[in-house]
């Protein structure tokens, strides 16, 4: 089992992701879940709806059955202190500083959200690298995916292709929206290596922005809820004028005794 930050970073560098088990205790998860459940009952703040993206399985419009199904509670950082505290948690700050080997920042323009995957109208997300969303000088960002409940392929948990962060693909192996074309003969052997991830409540998946990942629909009766944040090195700021630079990043504070 992976234990030290140094070991975890080595695993992430090797396979493009690493799972840190039991990082967030129950009381802290429940505080976050309470905010999410309140928001699902009485929608508030900036939200992304399944019908906006219309990935496979999503309602055809906001007016259709299930049209009000929420996919993302955006700007988790500003939504509640519990999410801001998690985003800038000293353990995360120390991890990212060690990974980048320099000061790190939270991006508020990317992820910085709670992802909810609902039964029935929660959609399937095709194979992609998250770097498709972003504009930075170097494709070296790391995201944290905190499972607030159990996650597996049954409830729409993530699948990954180990090592894909280090693979080189031709531009036309991706479609116009930067999804990896699943039936392209060059991509079939790559996706044959995909594995489903199982996360227990409080587990944190850390994954590289070039790691291929996907997720199916939620075949259970319960909403799956995950908190997702993205970080980059201070020397790799978002490119000026892009969406990545549209919201100020948050520098992470690291106490000297936490840097490993």
Ligand X SMILES: O=C(O)CCC(=O)C(=O)O
Which residues contact ligand X (rule: CB under 6 A)? 115, 117, 125, 130, 156, 213, 215
Nearest distance from C-beta of residue 52 to ligand X, angstroms: 12
Q: In the structure encoding, which two tokens stand for residue 8, read together?
A: 């975890």
Nearest distance from C-beta of residue 156 to ligand X, angstroms: 6
Which residue number, 70 or 254, has a Cβ lying nearer to ligand X? 70
Which residue number, 208 or 213, has a Cβ lying nearer to ligand X? 213
Which residue number, 156 or 202, has a Cβ lying nearer to ligand X? 156
Among residues 8, 27, 2, 11, the alpha carbon closest in space to that of 163 is found at 11
- Cα distance between residue 36 and residue 9, in whole Å: 30
Nearest distance from C-beta of residue 55 to ligand X, angstroms: 7
Nearest distance from C-beta of residue 254 to ligand X, angstroms: 27
- Cα distance between residue 188 and residue 178, in whole Å: 16
Which residue number, 71 or 94, has a Cβ lying nearer to ligand X? 71
Nearest distance from C-beta of residue 130 to ligand X, angstroms: 5
Which residue number, 63 or 177, has a Cβ lying nearer to ligand X? 177
Which residue number, 8 or 125, has a Cβ lying nearer to ligand X? 125
- Cα distance between residue 230 and residue 208, in whole Å: 9
Nearest distance from C-beta of residue 47 to ligand X, angstroms: 14
> Do β-strands 141-147 and 224-233 pair in parallel, antiparallel, or remain unpaired?
antiparallel
Which residue number, 55 or 169, has a Cβ lying nearer to ligand X? 55
Nearest distance from C-beta of residue 133 to ligand X, angstroms: 7
């Amino acid at each position: 089992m992976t234990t030290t930050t140094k070991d975890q970073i080595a695993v992430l560098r090797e396979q493009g992701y690493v799972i840190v088990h039991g990082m967030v205790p129950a009381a802290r998860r429940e505080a976050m879940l309470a905010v999410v459940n309140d928001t699902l009952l009485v929608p508030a703040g900036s939200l992304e709806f399944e019908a906006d993206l219309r990935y496979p399985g999503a309602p055809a419009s906001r007016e259709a059955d299930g049209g009000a199904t929420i996919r993302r509670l955006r700007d988790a950082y500003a939504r509640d202190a519990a999410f801001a505290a998690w985003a800038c948690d000293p353990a995360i700050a120390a991890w990212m500083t060690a990974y980048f080997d320099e000061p790190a920042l939270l991006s508020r323009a990317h992820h910085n959200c709670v992802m909810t995957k609902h039964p029935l109208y929660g959609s399937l997300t095709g194979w992609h690298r998250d770097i498709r969303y972003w504009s930075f000088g170097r494709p070296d960002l790391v995201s944290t995916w905190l499972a607030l409940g159990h996650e597996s392929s049954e409830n729409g948990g993530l699948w990954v292709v180990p090592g894909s962060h280090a693979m080189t693909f031709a531009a036309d192996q991706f479609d116009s929206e930067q999804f990896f074309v699943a039936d392209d003969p060059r991509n079939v052997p790559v996706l044959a290596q995909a594995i489903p991830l199982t996360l227990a409540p409080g587990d944190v998946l850390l994954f590289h922005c070039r790691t291929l990942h996907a997720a199916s629909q939620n075949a259970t009766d319960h909403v799956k809820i995950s908190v997702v944040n993205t970080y980059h090195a201070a020397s790799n700021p978002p490119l000026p004028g892009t969406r990545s630079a549209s919201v100020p990043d948050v520098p992470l504070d690291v106490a000297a005794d936490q840097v490993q």
